[in-house]
Chain A
Amino acid sequence: MLEEPILQVRNLRKQFGTGCMECAEVETRKLEKNFCKNCGTVYACQDISFDLYPGEILGIVGESGSGKSTMMQCLYFDNEVSSGEAFINTPELVSNNVFELSAQKKRSIRNHVYGMVYQNPVHGLKMNFSSVGNIAEKLIAAGNRNVGQMEATSKKLLENVHIPLHRMKEEPRNFSGGMQQRVQIAKALSNNPPILFLDEVTTGLDLSVQANVLDLIKVIQRDLGISMIVVSHDLAVIRMLADRTIVLLNGKIIEEGLTDQVLEDPQHEYTQQLVYSLL
């Protein structure tokens, strides 16, 4: 098929620490999971490469500490990569390694191309702004200036994620976890991003709220055709949402495939453990 990925990630590496003689060489390093016992350096992401296609939901699973959030934060420029490349296939950005762009260009990508929903709403929302204000902030960053229009857009977005009209002026700190996540999603969608990152969006929500948020994500994919990377350690969430799935272990991709194939015919020993332990 002549289809081009919207995002290509190549050899993304992120380490915390400077490394030492024992761990400098990728081929010979001996790590305890992702950790060099000699110098304490953490190799959180090791040579992560994948493609994200237009309109697809790509699932990322892996145990705690496998590097899922670090990878997302690197892609979203919250964290600087140690090395690697990412290419966004839009006319303005094509064939630029976005990790090497200026801070200003990166900010522009965040404002116009990316949306992010953090695991912890505290990272994605200003808890002392109203919900409408939170969205307006993002709209302003994306270049909007018309106050009336921004308010209307914010209301529409909040309505779409089922925040009742009479609570839109309220600060999200008063909201339940599920509502906060929905405000975060509305905010992330406000600049019509072609690419959306979702980090454990349903973790810690009770089941009915979780179903609500999952349904919302599906609707967004279907109606807006947004490409998404969905991180979760919950295989049920991944099964429900993702077309394809990547399995991370100790910062490395150990398996990838169609989601039902990864779950029903896992190839790697670790994926088998992960899947069978939940059957």
Chain B
Amino acid sequence: MAMLEIVDFGKRFTIHHLGKTMPAIQNINLSLEAGEFIGIVGKSGSGKSTILKSIYRTYLPDEGKIMYDSERFGETDLAQISERQMLYLRKYEIGYVSQFLSVMPRTTCRQLVTNALLEMGESEAVALKEAEKALAHFELDPKLWDSYPNTFSGGEKLRLNIAMATVKKPRLLLLDEPTASLDQQSKIKVREIIEKLKKQGTTLVGIFHDIEFMDGLCDKVYDMQTRQLTITKEVVIHES
């Protein structure tokens, strides 16, 4: 099977105090193979983040299927899988990077990345070594390694975020606007990071408002507006 196949997926939000139920997305169908990189595009509010968060179970999926080919559980519907199984997948198979950093307070940058590995059961020594390798890899200045990330710039926070997610070598990585609000220099870095991840065989789902920036990297683009999945060679991006 494909690595990820989303079938007739839909998600609605019920806001009780407004007495309203709002369909956020409906009829989403897309699929990607292992090692592919898919970009999701669409205007603000079209439901891009909702798809990613539903894959990761931050949002409770309610219609359709999210089939994932798990190393541990085989073919599974992420919309139906138990909470414990989802926690397992988050630890070992699926990573999520948002544009915001939310971490334990007063924990140093180095410790945060180390912790991600300790939680997977790595030994202290290995975890520390791998963490430092990841921080260097994502070009975080060693001067920052022992400081608290709440003082970091947007780009530094993002690279730390990516380091924490990728140090665990997830098979499937979800990226929610990893280039938003970054300067050109940092954006180029993120592109390079994604390039490296792709070379390592990571399957990637990314949301980008400037998908052109990922030219040549994306294998497929899913357009929220047309509900079309295109192979990028022939991609037509609808202006929002």
Q: CB within 8 Å of B: which residues of A? A: 1, 3, 53, 56, 207-208, 211-212, 214-215, 218, 222-223, 239-240, 243-244, 257-258, 260-261, 264-265, 267-269, 272-273, 276
Contact = CB atoms under 8 A, between A and B. Distances in A.
A73 B58 CA distance: 31
B98 to A, nearest CB: 11
B87 A272 contact: no
Given A1-B84, A53-B84, A244-B83, A272 B58 contact: no
Interface in B79-106: 82-88, 102, 104-106
A265 B84 contact: no
A272 B16 CA distance: 8
Contacts of A239: 102
A57 to B, nearest CB: 11
19 contacts: A1-B84, A1-B85, A1-B88, A3-B84, A53-B84, A56-B87, A211-B105, A214-B104, A218-B115, A257-B60, A258-B57, A264-B58, A264-B59, A265-B60, A267-B14, A269-B16, A269-B17, A272-B15, A273-B17
Contact of B59 (A3, A212, A222, A261): A261
A240 B105 CA distance: 9
A208 B16 contact: no
Given A222-B118, A264-B53, A272 B105 contact: no
A258 B58 contact: yes
A261 B15 contact: no
B13 interface: yes
A234 B185 CA distance: 39
B107 A257 contact: no
B46 to A, nearest CB: 18
Contact of A260 (B16, B58, B104, B107): B58
B119 interface: yes
Interface in B6-49: 13-17
Contact of A1 (B57, B58, B82): B82
Contacts of B53: 264-265
A215 B13 contact: no
Contact of A222 (B83, B84, B107, B115): B115
B150 to A, nearest CB: 11
Contact of A261 (B57, B107, B115): B57
Interface in B104-124: 104-107, 115, 118-119
Interface in B199-239: none
A-B pairs with lowest CB-CB distance, top 10: A269-B16, A211-B106, A265-B59, A211-B105, A260-B58, A264-B58, A222-B118, A265-B60, A258-B83, A243-B87
Contact of B60 (A207, A214, A267, A269): A267
Contacts of B16: 268-269, 272
